[in-house]
């Protein structure tokens, strides 16, 4: 009888432990989704600001349509990558957008009235702030992904992760030039 009680206690303890592991894995998976959602919010905000910047520039840059179109194509690429939820394609699209923005800011140097206009300066500051916030959110996302991936690979969590179908999450990789904010001062100091 005592052996049966001890065995029952061990089974209940094991089931309780497995439930705790499972719930922990659910929490780290949810943290990854939340971190991605936070990036998504900022990408949408930046997505909404870029047409305003392009329109302000268009009013001054009558002959720079290629530069403005490049920024808008890159914006569409980031939006498509964001919608797909694929961190790899988002990294490539971000590289194109950053390049387009740097080109836009460099061309804007030739238009003193544009640089002096309040809407342009405001949008520059807004987009720069969003870039900084995105860099912070990327770090939070990658931390959450790392926690998730370590948990699903560590014993004994790996057993529950395989049974519960917890796949690894993909880190959001950016090249060195994408890890820093768009350098507006360099673009305008020529």
- C-alpha 144/C-alpha 126 separation (Å) is 27
Which domain covers residue 76, as residue numbers?
2-188
Query: Are the CB atoms for 36 and 170 separated by under 8 Å?
Result: no
Task: Give the DSSP letter of residue 179.
Answer: S
CA dist 142 → 27, 35, 156, 179 (Å): 15, 8, 23, 13
Confidence bin at 106 (pLDDT 50/70/90): confident
Residue 44: CATH number of its domain: 1.20.1440.20
Query: pLDDT per residue over 56-103, tens digit each?
Result: 787 767 657 777 888 888 888 888 888 888 787 887 888 888 888 888
Find the helix packing angle between 87-108 and 2-60, rounded to 10°. 20
pLDDT of 119-155, one tens digit each? 888 888 888 888 888 888 888 999 999 999 999 999 9
**Cα separation of 124 and 72, whole Å?**
16
Q: Is the pLDDT of residue 181 over 50?
A: no
Measured distance CA(55)–CA(50) in Å, rounded? 9
Q: Which 8-state DSSP code applies to residue 171?
A: P
Q: How confident is the model at residue 183 (pLDDT cuts 50, 70, 90)?
A: very low
pLDDT tens, residue by residue, 146-174:
999 999 999 988 988 998 889 998 888 76
Q: What is the structure's pLDDT at 14?
A: 93
pLDDT at 187: 41
Q: Map residue 9 onto helix, strand or coil.
A: helix
d(CA 17, CA 21): 6
**How much is the pLDDT for 182?**
46
pTM: 0.66
**Structural domains in the chain (count):** 1
């Amino acid at each position: 009888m005592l052996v049966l009680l001890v065995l029952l206690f061990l089974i209940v303890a094991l089931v309780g432990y497995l439930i705790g592991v499972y719930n922990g894995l659910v929490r780290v998976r949810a943290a990854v989704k939340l971190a991605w959602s936070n990036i998504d919010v900022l990408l949408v905000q930046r997505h909404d600001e870029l047409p305003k910047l392009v329109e302000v520039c268009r009013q001054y840059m009558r002959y720079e349509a290629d530069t403005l179109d490049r920024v808008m194509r890159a914006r569409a690429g980031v939006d498509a990558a964001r919608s797909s939820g694929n961190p790899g394609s988002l990294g490539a699209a971000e590289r194109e957008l950053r390049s387009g923005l740097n080109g836009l800011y460099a061309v804007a140097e030739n238009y003193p009235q544009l640089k002096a206009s309040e809407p342009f300066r405001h949008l520059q500051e807004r987009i720069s702030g969003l870039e900084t916030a995105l860099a912070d959110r990327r770090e939070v996302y990658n931390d959450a992904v790392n926690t998730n991936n370590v948990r699903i690979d560590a014993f004994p969590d790996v057993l529950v992760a395989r049974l519960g179908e917890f796949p690894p999450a993909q880190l959001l990789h950016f090249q060195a030039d994408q890890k820093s904010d768009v350098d507006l001062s360099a673009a305008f100091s020529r």
